[in-house]
Amino acid sequence: MDNAYLPKIAKIVDVQQELTDVRTFSLRFASDQDQDDFHYKPGQFIELSMLGLGEAPISISSSPSRKSSFDITVKAIGSVTQALHAQKPGSLVGVRGPYGNGFPVDEVAGMDILFVGGGIGLAPLRSLLVNLLDNRSSYGRITLLYGARTPSELLFKQDLAAWAMTEGMEVHTTVDVADESWTGNVGVVTTLFAKISPDPKQTIAFVCGPPVMFRFVIAELLKLGFSDDRIISTLERYMKCGIGKCGHCCIGHKYVCVDGPVFNYREIKTLQEEI
Amino acid sequence: MAERARTIPKGRIGEFIKLLAREGTLIAPVARSGETVFSTVNGPEEISFDYLNSLLPPKRFLLPQTEPMLTYDANGRCEMTPVYDEEKRVIFGLRSCDVGAIAFLDHFFLGDIPDIYYAKRRENTTIISITCQEPGENCFCICADCGPFIETGFDIQLTDIGETYLAEIGTERGAELVGKAGDLFAEASDGEIERRNELAAAAEKRFKSTTTYFSAAIRRISTEIVPEELWQELGDRCLACGGCSYVCPTCSCFNVADLGSGGTGVRMRCWDSCALGGFTRMAGGHNPRKEKQDRRNRRFYHKLSYYYIQRQDKHGCVGCGRCITVCPGEIDMPAVVKMIVKGENAKVKA
């Protein structure tokens, strides 16, 4: 029997500053065998250990087609993530995973994809988006609606620019509050829906952002005629163990770490608890 | 069952207990300061046979209040070493409710991705239960379909049938122990088995409650027809003390923390409770169950909804009654079930 609570050692191979308090860490397992054995789906997460402080559940933000390392994009917000931010390339951390059900990548082949992201919510969506671009011909039109509070809080700015130039991809961004240099849309992310006309019979929507954003985005998608199971989101809870035992991440009768974190709206409606 | 049951004269149970004490650490009911607790004993003379049930369930021998999971050394190559508890234990004198609860925890901890810490303790634990013939004031195992006599979950189930104990053998381990005891055990006669069945039926009749409340409560909670005002009242009466979780034999939630300094230390886990305020709080401050009524809703939903029952194979209450003993707000399981079904004890009618 494996010990599912025992982390494997991984080395930080690269650190990228994304925003003032957000960094992307590229990790590679210390053992080559562990790295070769690490297969994940977009939408899955790891439990990152800072020994002495504890573990934090963090979504993987890279595409699984990259084999040499994987990325986590992390906001410094609690004791574990703040300690992580103090690390440099070469530091060792503990990793357990991958956990969670991941996005249904295979099931959306041939369809148009609509991504709607808010703030740091773009991080898990990125893993899926880049994975789709790795197999571009298998999917239809790809559209990204992305919003942040201010221009300085837009994540992955270089990626956003590159995606906007990609054939068959449409990118719309917005901020709640502009600064002097911002010339783009101002307003919450739902204001971007006016710029697109997706075919609800042909499109799957992937949504990730703060809880308040979900409600309004789901309302827009339902207005456009999306059915409940074509609206997919990834939810956030205090996932302590990652394997469905500690009880902290339950929403209704589901364990977010095992049954999720990816759920479609039909499932979310049956949960009998506020998300 | 006739081919497997045995009997042992009551006067010789002490010899069997001495044999059990050689099989591992023996844990049995002990009288202490007016309460009964499950504690390690050295011999039969320390065991209390005159008790209803213990204040704390024996689950702490399978899921301790605190336990080390691994030691770590973050200096240098970053080493982590798991810490396992593989001590052999024999728990003697459990009641049917607690046996059912252990079977429930087995299903939870050993299913899907198994919990190795629980698994190692469980495979080294032998369960010898004694059936109840006189329900306590707070007992409702019969409503929860978990007693006073049960069919599985024990290695050996003993019933006092007068001059002897009738021993039902539940597992190969139970058969192994009876085999080691040699001439202490004799095959039970048809009459003795009949006597055991009569006592089982008589014990059931001594309960004053009926079974219909539970299924009605399960239906109402699962279909969300319990009014919000009822949860609000439960929230008002709840002190968020966590007592219900600590004494509940099927509760299993835990928290994990690293304790150490200078880069070395131990990763521990400890009991946690969904009643407590910070249970769902995340870094950044968002807490989906900030209100006590939401946390109370969660407890009863987890114990009683049929979505969880499908997952767990049975509902989450064994009827031991310990929550009645400890709850300062009088919102224990039977009280809440009655509030939900009949509107009793509530200011709000269900």
Mutation for testing the A interface, residue in B63, B67, B78 having most A CBs under 10 Å: B78
Q: List CB contacts (< 8 A) between A53 and chain B.
A: 258
In a domain, A268, yes or no: no
- The whole domain housing A13 covers 8-99
Residue in B with minimal Cα distance to A272: B224
Q: Which two structure tokens, joined as six digits, stand for B28?
A: 């049995």
Cβ contact, residue pair B254, A2, below 8 Å: no
CA distance B319 to B326: 14
Query: In this structure, is residue A83 part of a structural domain?
Result: yes
* Residue A179 covered by a domain: yes
More confident residue, B350 or B20: B20
> Given this model, what pLDDT does residue B345 score?
57
Q: Is A160 a member of any domain? A: yes
Main-chain phi, psi angles of B65, to 5 degrees: -60, -40
Shared domain check, A89 and A141: no
Tell me, yes or no, whether A263 lies in a domain.
no
The CATH number assigned to the domain holding A149 equals 3.40.50.80
Q: Examine the domain organization and report whether A176 and A93 are in the same domain.
A: no
Shared domain for A110 and A91, answered yes or no, is no
Backbone angles phi, psi at A138, to 5 degrees: -80, -5
- Could B288 and A273 be called an inter-chain contact, meaning their C-beta atoms sit closer than 8 Å? yes
Quote the crossing angle between the two packed helices B292-304 and B333-342, to the nearest 10°. Answer: 90
**pLDDT value for B347:** 60
Q: Is the predicted pLDDT of residue B1 greater than 60, yes or no?
A: no
Residue, of A273 and B108, whose pLDDT is higher: B108
| Residue A261 forms part of a structural domain | no
A91 & A112 share domain: no
- Same domain? For A116 and A13 the reply is no
Instruction: Give the residue-averaged pLDDT of B309-313.
Output: 86
Residues A115 and A229 in one domain: yes
What total number of domains does chain A contain?
2
Among A84, A99, A114, residue at a domain's last position: A99
Q: Residue range B73-98: average pLDDT?
A: 95
Nearest Cα residue in chain A from B68 = A5
Within this chain, do residues A111 and A224 fall inside the same structural domain, yes or no? Answer: yes
Is the residue at A260 inside a domain?
no
Output the pLDDT for position B225: 83
Q: Is residue A215 part of a domain?
A: yes
pLDDT at B115: 98
Rounded to two decimals, what is the model's pTM? 0.94
Q: Round the average pLDDT of chain A to a whole number and report it.
A: 95
Extended strands (E) in B186-308? 186-187, 254-261, 264-271
In this prediction, the residues of chain A whose per-residue pLDDT falls under 70 are 274-275
Q: Indicate if A127 and A219 belong to the same structural domain.
A: yes
**Which tens digit of pLDDT belongs to each residue from B189-230?**
999 999 999 999 999 999 876 666 888 899 898 888 888 889
**Average pLDDT of chain B to the nearest whole number:** 92
Of A166, A106, A108, give the one whose Cα is nearest residue A133.
Answer: A166
Mean pLDDT over B228-245 rounds to 93
Dump pLDDT digits (tens) for B161-181.
Answer: 999 999 999 999 999 999 999
State residue B348's pLDDT score. 54
Q: Are residues A215 and A174 in the same domain?
A: yes
* Same-domain status, A95 and A111: no
Q: Domain of A12: which CATH number?
A: 2.40.30.10
Interchain CB distance below 8 Å, A240 and B302: no
pLDDT at B350: 44
Q: Do A253 and B280 touch (CB under 8 A)?
A: no
Claim to verify: residue A112 and residue A93 sit in the same structural domain: no
Same-domain status, A132 and A32: no
pLDDT at B2: 41
